[in-house]
Each structure stands twice: as structure tokens, then as C-alpha cells.
Amino acid sequence: MSSGSLEMGALIAGVTISTFPYNLDVIAKIVSIRDFFITLFFVALGMGIPNPLQNLSILAIAAVTAVFLIASRFLSVYPLLSIFCAMVTA
């Protein structure tokens, strides 16, 4: 069995269910199962992240990245907003 066969089977099953006339009934019945597995996925993803308190360089990199992203957002958007707001009020 190839590694992509389960994924292809899920894709084909999803496309098949979406073409049925009663697809909304099926979706309504499986929404709680979907939410459960989405929760498990994100818990497993979070458990795979190393603890930043064991390696402070990861925490420092995350902090610098967060500050850079927030600052770059303000430095790139604020001048444009001030120019366009000045054009609107003039």
C-alpha cells in the first residue's frame, strides 16, 4: 500500500459525499467528530513543539520575530493610512 492511498481515499470520499443530494445531512452528523479530530490534531501539533523554557534561544527568536512583525506592520501601514486619510478629509 502506498503512503498516499489513505489521503487519496479521503479526497475521493469527500468529493463523493459532496455530490450527494443529502450532503448537508451527512455534514451535520459528522461535524462533532470533525471538531474532535481537529482538537486532537492541534494538541498533537502543540505537543511536538519543544518547551521554550529549556532552550531560551528559541524564546528570544520568537520574541524578536514578534516585535519585528508588529513594528513592520505599523511602519508599513501607518504612513499609507495617514496619506489616504489626508486625501479624504481634504
Summarize pLDDT for 2-19 with one digit per residue, the tens.
667 888 998 998 888 888
Give percent above pLDDT 90 in the chain.
27
pLDDT number for residue 57: 84
The span from the CA of 33 to the CA of 50, in Å, is 28
Which whole-number Å values give the CA distances from 83 to 69, 74, 76, in the listed order? 22, 14, 12
Residue 36: per-residue pLDDT: 94
Give pLDDT < 70 ranges for the chain.
Answer: 1-3, 52, 86, 88-90
34's grid cell? 470533525
Separation CA 35–CA 40 (nearest Å):
9
**Based on the number of CB atoms within 10 Å of its own CB, is 52 exposed (0-12), middle (13-18) or buried (19 or more)?**
middle
